[in-house]
Amino acid sequence: MGAILDFSVEDLVNDFDDTAATILLYQMQKLRGVGYNDIEIVNNTDTTIPVDLNPPGMNNNDDIELPAASVLAKLVEITYRTASAPNETKTGYYLLTATDTTSQNLGAITGYSIFYEGNSSNVATTTPAAVRQVLDSFELIASPEVVETILAALAAQAEQAEQAAETQEPEPEPEPEPEPEDPDLPNLPNLPNLPNLPNLPNLPNLPNLPN
């Protein structure tokens, strides 16, 4: 579809509203080509469509459960007349999306649309339960190539996180060296008691010197 309507994966990511408007215009032209007239858009609502990344037999690595995924979509309510009943106004619902997750050629875009044609001309303020049940049952299945690409990306992220954790882990501080123990000093012998010294004699008084 991307080649037909001239948009890329980057357009889906960066400006989905404009891309969805291009897809909707394309679908309206197809309806007019098969006899639908006086088409008017009543409501245009953002929604999502789930993408199954873990279908049986596709993910060979049983240890990895890929997370839930979804793609952007538009739920469009329209009124119209048909060539078979030109005097009757009917209400219909279009579920539109485009994605590169289902194609076996990586980067190729595939468009999807579900048209629920109602019988009533009354415009509902909310999507009827019967319509919602049908549209909510729709899901996309990712291609094996996309699943392998996601698994490879997750493995690379895990390896980078492990390497980053190893580089940030502080080195353990070296244990302090034990202080050398003082060698046991030998006990010194007890010193002998010194003898008592004799008392010195009193010195005589010196005579007075003459002036």
Determine whether 96 is exposed, middle or buried from the number of CB atoms within 10 Å of its CB (0-12, 13-18, 19+): buried
37 falls in which pLDDT band (50, 70, 90)?
very high
Does residue 191 form part of some domain? no
**Beta strands 90-99 and 69-82, pairing class:** antiparallel
CA separation for the pair 127, 75 (Å, rounded): 9
Tokens of 122: 């009354």
Average pLDDT (100-111) is: 82
Q: What whole-number percentage of the chain has pLDDT above 70?
A: 71
Interval 128-166: pLDDT, tens: 888 888 888 999 988 888 888 877 877 787 778 877 777
Residue 31 forms part of a structural domain? yes
Provide the pLDDT for residue 80. 92
- Asked whether residue 194 is assigned to any structural domain, the reply reads no
The answer to whether residue 11 is domain-embedded is yes
With a pLDDT cut of 90, the percent of the chain lying above it is: 21
- Amino acid symbol at 101: T
In the predicted model, is pLDDT for residue 202 greater than 80?
Answer: no
Whether the pLDDT of residue 211 is over 70: the answer is no
In the structure, what pLDDT confidence band is assigned to residue 58 with cuts at 50, 70 and 90?
Answer: low
pLDDT-derived band at 14 (thresholds 50, 70, 90) equals confident
Q: What domain count does the chain have?
A: 1
Average pLDDT over residues 18-46: 90
Q: In the structure encoding, which two tokens stand for residue 138, read together?
A: 């729709």
- Residue pair 39/31 in contact (Cβ under 8 Å)? The answer is yes
Most confident of 54-58, 69-73, 123-127, 207-211: 69-73
**63 in a structural domain:** yes
Mean pLDDT of 180-186: 58
Q: State the pLDDT at residue 60.
A: 54
pLDDT at res. 36: 92
Summarised one tens digit per residue, pLDDT across range 68-86 is 889 999 999 999 999 888 8
Calculate the average pLDDT of the chain. Answer: 78
Q: What is the pLDDT of residue 46?
A: 92
Query: Is residue 36 in a domain?
Result: yes
> Does residue 178 belong to any structural domain of this protein?
no
User: Residues 69, 57: contact at Cβ < 8 Å?
Assistant: no
Distance CA 68, CA 52 (A): 7
pTM for this structure? Answer: 0.65
Radius of gyration of the chain, Cα coordinates, nearest whole angstrom:
46
Q: Which domain holds residue 116?
A: 2-163
Residue 72 has, within 13 A of its CA and on its CB side, a CA count of 15
Cα torsion through 96, 100, 105, 111, rounded to 10: 10
Residue 183 covered by a domain:
no
User: Who contacts 152 (Cβ-Cβ below 8 Å, separation ≥6)?
Assistant: none
Instruction: Identify the pLDDT of residue 102.
Output: 85
